[in-house]
Amino acid sequence: MPSRHTPRSPEPAVLAAATWQELPLPGAALAIVEDWLAPAEADALLAELLVAIRWENHRIRIFGREVASPRLSCWIGDPGASYVYSGTRFDPHPWPEQLQGLRARVEQACGARFNSVLANLYRNGDDAMGWHSDDEPELGAQPVIASLSLGAERRFVFRPRQRDKPGRRTSELRLAHGSLLRMAGDTQQLYQHALPRTTRVTMPRINLTFRHIS
């Protein structure tokens, strides 16, 4: 007789060495899956999210001045998962249907729980992200951040936070359509990252950075 027991969802798994490529950045914990989403699924998700997400031009504070962010964004999350960035508090928008199932898949892949996601829309190569670390107190001391890229391939660069570090150099990787990057451990404490402007990109890119707000 078949069991009436409903199987429990599996606990998040550790990173599978056969799937994830570890990236060599001293002291950091970085890994990437270049083709985490198949091209057809990534194409469909990009098209849907361009319409489904409530894109906003956030105001941020830089060197004491309030300016328009050089990209469109939307903070999404569970109730109460508010986030303070660049002196501004963001209360979460509800999860759109397209991201509800995706969140569970990203959690399973990364071995972590997420209650929020920052969605950024880079409309073309003129949109960018400046140097920063995701080290806000509500993220914890060693946050796990999962970054899913959709659309145009862009350069993603890292540099040590210590300005006087001997041999301080910039490292870079390419974030392709459908790739999933996992940043964990001391990555945010040791490094800053950025998405530079480029004249070579004319198509849009959506980046989804899944996080856990305490």
Give me the residues paired with residue 12 across strands.
none
> Has residue 136 been placed in a domain?
yes
Q: For the segment 160-203, what is each residue's pLDDT rounded down to a tens digit?
A: 988 766 656 889 999 999 999 999 999 999 999 999 999 999 99
> Has residue 178 been placed in a domain?
yes
Question: Which residues, including other chains, have CB under 8 Å from residue 71's CB and lie 6 or more apart?
Answer: 120, 121, 122, 123, 127, 128, 129
> Has residue 108 been placed in a domain?
yes
Q: For the segment 76-135, what is each residue's pLDDT rounded down to a tens digit?
A: 999 999 988 777 788 999 999 999 999 999 999 999 999 999 999 999 999 999 999 999
> Has residue 11 been placed in a domain?
no
Domain limits for position 54: 21-211
> Has residue 169 been placed in a domain?
yes
pTM: 0.86
> Has residue 46 been placed in a domain?
yes
Question: In whole angstroms, what is the distance from residue 137 CA to residue 190 CA?
Answer: 15
Q: Which of 100, 74, 184, 94 is nearest to 139 (CA)?
A: 184
> Has residue 2 been placed in a domain?
no
The domain spanning residue 54 has which CATH number? 2.60.120.590
Looking at the 3D structure of the chain, how many domains does it have?
A: 1
User: Predicted confidence band at 17 (pLDDT cuts at 50, 70, 90)?
Assistant: very low
Q: For the segment 23-55, what is each residue's pLDDT rounded down to a tens digit?
A: 999 999 999 999 999 999 999 999 999 999 999
Per DSSP, which regions of the chain are E strands? 21-23, 28-33, 59-62, 65-68, 72-77, 83-85, 88-90, 116-122, 129-132, 145-151, 154-160, 171-175, 180-185, 191-195, 205-211
Given a contact cutoff of 8 angstroms between Cβ atoms, the answer to whether 161 and 189 are in contact is: yes
> Has residue 42 been placed in a domain?
yes
Q: Measure Cα distances from 36 to 45, 85, 90, 102 in Å.
A: 13, 29, 29, 12
Q: Which of 202, 95, 77 is nearest to 151 (CA)?
A: 202
